[in-house]
Amino acid sequence: MAIKVKQKQESSSVVIWAVFGIMMASLLFLGSRLWNLQVRGKSGFDEVFHDQSVRRVRLPAVRGKIFDTNGEVLADSVPNYCIAIYTEEMRAPRSAVANTLELMHRIWQSIGVAPDISYRDVKRHFALTPNEPLVVWKGLDDEKLGVWQGIFGRWNDERKIPGLKKHDPLRTNRITFNTKELSKTPTSTAANTLELVYEISDRIGIPRKVRYQQIVDHIILQKPLPLLAWQNLNDATIAKWADTCSMLPGTDIYYQPARTYPFGETNAHLIGFTLAADAINEAEDTGEKIHYDMRGIEGRKGLEGTYNDLLEGEPGYNLVRIDASGYHHSDIQTRFPKPGGDLQLTIDQKIQQFAMEALLTKQDGEDPNLPVKGACVVLDPNNGDVLAMVSAPSFNPNAYMASAKYRLALNKDPFSRTFHRAVFGQYPPGSTFKPIAVLGALRNNPDYANVYHDCHNPYYVGKRRMKCWIHSRYGEHGEVNARQALMVSCNVYMFEMVQELGYEPIRDMAHEFGIGQYAGLFPNLDDPPEQKDVKYGNLPDHALNTIDACNMSIGQGAILASPLQMAMVASTIANGGRVYRPRLVKKWRNGPDDPYNTNPTWAYRQLDVPIEALEVVRGGMHDVVNHPEGSAKAAALDGVLIAGKTGSAQYKKLVDGEVVSSVHTWMISYAPYHFPKYAVAMLVEDGVSGGRSIGPRLHDLYAKIFEYDGTISKGDS
């Protein structure tokens, strides 16, 4: 017995050890496997989990502001309030009304005819007679019935659509829903969302903005994002929403940054506008994948377009955990967007408004039913600052951003309202070019100031008869010298001068003034920006023949300039020959908390002209306004001496298929004469003449400017 036991013990100990060994081995195996999975492979599995459940949403930053020189806000960021619907809360089954609406919309989409019943009718039907069939369309014509039958009839043959009966409407011209069936069918998220949209629309009394297809697309493509069912709400609508809809599940007020321009039309071309940014799916800086984009806005034209990178700021990201069906589950973390930088312009909004008012004031002989087409640029001749830059006719940038209909209408607009005439307009400068021509002649021949030419009618160059403007009024200027020629704007003097001295000195002078070159409005852009079909005026190298040279001496022919370039000419004459790069941006900063960087002024050229020659030209421009025979006496202002030069450049245009001759009327000017503070170029297309169309406008502009800066007291003008 004892032996047996002993034997048993011996044998059992072996077994026990064996079993123990096996157990330990298997435990070790399991442990190592566990280690592999839980510790070594953890990051890999985490990554897979993360990839499957985390989505990155891009959030737009708030755009920086644009200020005028005095800190007035010209472009501001404001909230665009939206009614958002969170579709993840729309998944619980709802009423049969949702099903009915969904089916209604699917049929509506395919046949293109609105149903004959409203949301309230549907609700009433389910409240009162839920088991009766519901007539949704009545009196459909055969064509629509054909479409309906083609789509839904066939569907019905292949598989049953809940709520529809086969071949029913062909007999009755109606489409009837079987509501009993609809009550038994579970509702989809899209149907529930649609019902909520109808409910909100009904309670607030605003029309539905979002279509059924947009809801479906949103649920397929943008599940974790809120659906913005209404946008750009005003206070009253938000209040109504709060008081009538805020207790409905799944809806809330959401806001996105939007843009507004307090001075709308006055600055439209200069500031530009923003439109919805294109959606992107990769971060620009890190290359991280962006799954969803709450699209912001981006600048498209004007300063908003040129400085978009500065103004835009950096978008933020929201990491969102989604659930198994792809809906928003929770926010993991948010990197807040970095607000954009600000621009401060040299523009003085007051002067900008004066310029616009003056430009839009109709003068005698202009068609009162047509909008004024033209531009006006005001520079500070002492540093090149752009004080005002307007273009007419203008458009409303706020409406442009808000309404696609408005944008479409502008595209077809015959007056090219969106065209920035002040910078991109290409016009023959006409007689405003004469100061340049005279300066060019006087540079190498200082004594030419005392040379007289006889303006007589008829006047021939070779065999071609050329006219001075006064000849068409049966007058002659007689014997005039250079200064008088500028005063009365005599063409014959220029013809004689260019024939004697040639076109080259005039061309060289015009080139130094910057005609035909990029005006360099923007800093850090020494080269003209690559833009298609944008020209910066034109200055031919050679005259084709004498006639061409004569034409160019009076600013016609192939010479072209923009109002901005002609304002630079006025400014250069005013300050004694310094050519400034026009400065539009005074300062900029990269963010609301950063210090401002100053954009320096830059006189990039000093004209090489003797002071006597400049005095002849300036004297002539003084006489234009202040001499009894001057061509722009209407511009004169009591209390301030104004100098200027008028111009009327003829061009041919097509009106109703006929070639008609018309004039672009110009004036370049500066004031006060002795210590210039302002240099102005103004142009009106299809005016009467420089003196009659622009003179009075300049008078109005200067009167307002000098009242504003305190040079003259009110009521002097």
Partner 1 sequence: MYAAAIGFVLIVVFVPLPSLTLKGKGAVRGAMAPAEKGASSIWQRLTETAAAIRGIGGAVEKNRELSHELVRVQAELNRLRDIEADNLRLRRALDFHQASPHQMIPCDVVSRNISGWWNTVRLGKGARNGIRENRAVISPDGLVGRTTEVTPLTSDVLLVSDPACRVSAKLARANVFGLVRGTGSNLRGEPQARMEFINKDAEIRIGDEVVTSGLSTAGGAFPKGVHIGYIEKIYKDDSGLFQYAEVIPRATVGLLDYVFVVSEAKEAGK
Question: How do the residues of the chain divide into helix, strand and coil, expressed in percent and rounded to 5?
Answer: 40, 20, 35
* Spatial contact of 488 and 629, defined as CB atoms under 8 Å apart: yes
| Residue closer to partner 1, measured from CB, 234 or 661 | 234
Q: In whole angstroms, what is the distance from residue 378 CA to residue 485 CA?
A: 26
Binding status of residue 235 toward partner 1 by CB under 8 A: yes
Binding status of residue 180 toward partner 1 by CB under 8 A: no
Distance of CA 243 to the CA centre of its chain: 36
Nearest distance in Å: CB 74, partner 1 = 15
Q: In whole angstroms, what is the distance from residue 139 CA to residue 275 CA?
A: 43
Give the footprint of partner 1 on residues 590-609 (CB under 8 A). 592
3-state secondary structure 21-43: HHHHHHHHHHHHHHHHHHHHCHH
Q: Among 29-37, 208-216, 247-255, 689-697, which window interacts with partner 1 (CB under 8 A)?
A: 247-255
Nearest distance in Å: CB 534, partner 1 = 35
Nearest distance in Å: CB 236, partner 1 = 5
Task: List beta partners, residue 256.
Answer: 80
Q: In whole angstroms, what is the distance from residue 256 CA to residue 569 CA?
A: 45
Please give the DSSP secondary-structure letter assigned to residue 248: S
Sketch the per residue contact string, 334 through 373, with partner 1: x for CB under 8 A, - otherwise: --xx-x----------------------------------
DSSP 463-487: TEEE--GGGGGT---EEE-HHHHHH
Give the footprint of partner 1 on residues 257-296 (CB under 8 A). 257
Binding status of residue 255 toward partner 1 by CB under 8 A: yes
Nearest distance in Å: CB 587, partner 1 = 19
User: What sign has the CA pseudo-torsion 258, 352, 575, 568?
Assistant: positive
Please give the DSSP secondary-structure letter assigned to residue 458: S
* Spatial contact of 124 and 227, defined as CB atoms under 8 Å apart: no
* Spatial contact of 430 and 648, defined as CB atoms under 8 Å apart: yes
* DSSP strands (E only) in 364-441: 374-379, 386-392
Binding status of residue 78 toward partner 1 by CB under 8 A: yes
Q: Which of 117, 253, 332, 451 forms a contact with partner 1 (CB under 8 A)?
A: 253
Binding status of residue 79 toward partner 1 by CB under 8 A: yes
Q: Among 75-83, 217-225, 444-452, 683-691, which window interacts with partner 1 (CB under 8 A)?
A: 75-83
Calculate the CA dihedral of residues 189, 194, 197, 202 and round it to 10 degrees.
Answer: -130
Q: Which of 2, 3, 39, 236 forms a contact with partner 1 (CB under 8 A)?
A: 236
* Spatial contact of 679 and 571, defined as CB atoms under 8 Å apart: yes
Nearest distance in Å: CB 564, partner 1 = 33
Binding status of residue 323 toward partner 1 by CB under 8 A: no
Nearest distance in Å: CB 240, partner 1 = 4
Q: Which of 106, 138, 208, 240 forms a contact with partner 1 (CB under 8 A)?
A: 240
Both structure tokens of 565:
């370039």
Q: In whole angstroms, what is the distance from residue 106 CA to residue 178 CA?
A: 15
Q: Which of 62, 355, 510, 574 forms a contact with partner 1 (CB under 8 A)?
A: 62
Binding status of residue 184 toward partner 1 by CB under 8 A: no
Give the number of other Cβ atoms within 10 Å of residue 415's Cβ.
15
Nearest distance in Å: CB 613, partner 1 = 54
Q: At what angle do helices 491-501 and 546-553 cross, to 10 degrees?
A: 130
| Residue closer to partner 1, measured from CB, 246 or 545 | 246
| Residue closer to partner 1, measured from CB, 141 or 593 | 593
Binding status of residue 239 toward partner 1 by CB under 8 A: yes
Binding status of residue 242 toward partner 1 by CB under 8 A: yes
Nearest distance in Å: CB 247, partner 1 = 6
Binding status of residue 313 toward partner 1 by CB under 8 A: no
| Residue closer to partner 1, measured from CB, 274 or 391 | 274
Binding status of residue 214 toward partner 1 by CB under 8 A: no
In the chain, how long is the greatest CA-to-CA distance?
A: 157
Nearest distance in Å: CB 369, partner 1 = 34
Q: List interacting residues with partner 1 (CB under 8 A).
A: 62, 77-79, 81, 203, 235-236, 238-244, 246-247, 253, 255, 257, 336-337, 339, 592
